[in-house]
Amino acid sequence: MPRPELVIRQMRRDELDVLVEWATEEGWNPGLSDAELFWATEPEAFIAAELAGELIGGGSIVSYGGHYGYMGFFIIHPDYRGRGLGNKLWHERLRRLLARLDEPAVIGMDGVFDLQAYYARGGFEFAGRDLRFEVTSESFSTPDGIAELSEIPFSDIAAYDRAHFPAPRDDFLRRWISQPGVHAKAALRAGRLAGFGVMRPCRTGYRIGPLFADDAAIANDLFCALAGQAPAEPIFLDVPENNPAAMALARRHQMKEVFGCAKMYFGPKPELPEQEIFGITTFELG
């Protein structure tokens, strides 16, 4: 009998929950509200791979207003790996995302190190490593000059985020900073926003992201204020290795490296203030 053909199509909402469970089994530690938030951001960004009527993989292809794309959440169930199915899914996702972006297209991704060479053959260039660090929160306290992010006008938050991300993402940001169980802090200097950080509950502990700040001292204040909200819980921070001050922050708090991805771009690397990015938002949506 002929082998069933791989069907690549739009994902259904319930299938994203399945992908999140697979991500948990892979040790990616998704947030408790990730599926709901990601789907609300752009339902058409989720692509499913089906074989003989069974979901066997998927991934995200987010278009931020046509200006910037991001490929994430790429996963094939272990039972179907090594058969070329992931290759077909990955290239079809890239094709579909390119069709949704304005020229010249720029697409970012955080890919596991083992697949870095594979992604390079697909046209992506290495731009640095994003390393996940972990520490168990104990005696962190909130320094002076830190406020609840909810007290800051959203227009100020969006403008600061836009300076540190390749494209506007206001709809996503509104949901991200107000998701259930979230802790979000702002740093004020001379009456203006000088940094902010968000910490969300995950399958294990909490993940901080983003963590943007004018300088290392402000980033450290924000980190301590956030970590102090979850005593005795594991805290994770995805640190861009290109920012030495961010790496120093992880060392200062004796965080241990537990995971990492290669930051790669299809098209020209966006010009961002890397020295002000202490923690990326998410490996799944950018």
Q: What is the pLDDT of residue 156?
A: 98
Tell me which fold the domain 6-129 belongs to. Answer: Aminopeptidase (3.40.630)
Mean pLDDT of 175-201: 97
Domain ranges of the chain: 6-129, 132-279
CA 240 to each of CA 126, 132, 203: distance values in angstroms, whole numbers, following the listed order:
13, 9, 23
Q: What is the pLDDT of residue 108?
A: 98
Whether residue 251 has pLDDT greater than 90: yes
Q: What is the mean pLDDT of the chain?
A: 95
The structure's pTM equals 0.95
Q: What is the pLDDT of residue 1?
A: 61
Whether residue 130 has pLDDT greater than 80: yes
Whether residue 3 has pLDDT greater than 80: no
Whether residue 2 has pLDDT greater than 70: no
Short-list 74, 83, 77, 85, CA closest to 114: 74
- Tens digit of each residue's pLDDT (9 = 90 or more) over 52-63: 999 999 999 999
Tell me which fold the domain 132-279 belongs to. Answer: Aminopeptidase (3.40.630)
Whether residue 138 has pLDDT greater than 90: no
Q: What is the pLDDT of residue 144?
A: 86
Same fold, 6-129 and 132-279: yes
- Tens digit of each residue's pLDDT (9 = 90 or more) over 13-51: 999 999 999 999 999 999 999 999 999 999 999 999 999
Look up residue 60 and give its two tokens. 């995200």
Whether residue 135 has pLDDT greater than 90: yes
Q: What is the pLDDT of residue 268?
A: 95
- Tens digit of each residue's pLDDT (9 = 90 or more) over 74-107: 999 999 999 999 999 999 999 999 999 998 889 9
Residues 164-193 as b or e (16 or more Cβ within 10 Å = b): bbbbbbeebbebbbebeebbbbbbbeeeeb
